[in-house]
Structure 1
Amino acid sequence: MLQQTTRAAQWLMGAGLAVALMGCSTGRHFASLDETLSIEVLPNTSKLFVYRLSSPDDRRRNLVEVYRSPGEARQHRTTEPLGDRAHRYLRRNTERALELTGYCREGFLELDYRLSHEQMWLRGECREGATDADIDRFAEQNELKIPEPDK
């Protein structure tokens, strides 16, 4: 019974993340998720970043799932995938974070991304190289605080 309760709680957490992603069309970050923007300015002036949305540690699921039956595994798989819609929301929130921080002024190239119920991230590179002002502002930082948007 405890295992079923735990599975139900895990499914609800994953469903909650999916609902948060789908329900946020205003462009503001998700209150229930941790949002981070890690940055790196390379010596050749390339500006790299990783934007992350993740569940707080106390709500994360186990990395290994054990199922009692093929039916239970099949049921779980039908709730797992996050597809194009979640990717669009992740990309939109990445654009918003980069705009609010001023890190990428001319857009970005998407290098890689991951979608899961516990953590989503998008890794990219700014279309422009770092100016002297960018180097002064960003070179010593590893992470940028994402400000609240003006209303």
Structure 2
Amino acid sequence: MITVIITDFWGIKTVLFKTSALVFWALLLAGCAASTGSDIEPVAKYEGVIRDKLTTSIAENGLKLFTYSVSNTRVIPQITMQPLELTGRDRRKRSSGPDLTEWTEQIELGLKRTLAMSGFCREGSIEISRLIQADRAEIRGECTEGATDDDRQRFGRQG
């Protein structure tokens, strides 16, 4: 039930909506459910443009290792570096190249989603190494939990 009430407060007409309790609580819960924290995933801007692969390995002692490899299938324009005119102490400084922040976020998002979908690392993982370049990336890691018999059946030993 929605009722419209028009009031006159100090000469200003105000429109108030009287809603049922059900609508009020639904709107309140929807507002509370919206997250504004840092747990919001970045938008998958590279979806359909990257090719990724998760390679898994389970050692004899139950250690679960993975390698997440990504390649960018989009044609990347060549980046030309301008030589810098440096003098004195500044000669050691070099141009750092392109900003890979957004690309790195996408790689991390892909890894997170791939590990979740595969179920390989159920309790999290530890990063061992990472290589991020403009056209490819590789993150190697280790699951925090050991392999179960089910893991050995699903993913095989492979390592």
Q: Tell me the TM-score range normalised by the shorter chain.
A: 0.5 to 0.7
Give the greater-gyration-radius structure (CA).
Answer: 2
Deviation at 1:25, TM superposition (A): 2.1
Q: How does 1:111-150 map to 2 (within 5 A)?
A: 111-139=128-156
Work out whether 1:82 is the aligned partner of 2:95: no
Q: Which has the higher contact order (CA 8 A, sep 6+)?
A: 1
Percent of paired sites with the same residue: 28
Can you give the 5+ residue segments of structure 1 that lack an aligned partner in the other structure?
1-23, 72-76, 143-151
- The match for 2:83 is 70
What SS does the corresponding residue of 1:136 show, helix, strand or coil? helix
Spell out structure 1 runs of 4+ moving beyond 4 A: 58-62
| Aligned position for 2:61 | 44
Q: Partner amino acid for 2:139? A: L
Q: Which protein has the bigger helix share? A: 1
Report the 3-state secondary structure (helix = DSSP H, G, I; strand = E; otherwise coil) of the residue aligned with 1:97: helix
Structure 1 CA distance for aligned equivalents of residues 110 and 123 of structure 2:
16
Name the one with the larger strand percent.
Answer: 2
The CA RMSD over aligned residues, in Å, is 3.2
Would the aligned equivalents of 2:56 and 2:64 in 1 still touch at CA under 8 Å?
yes
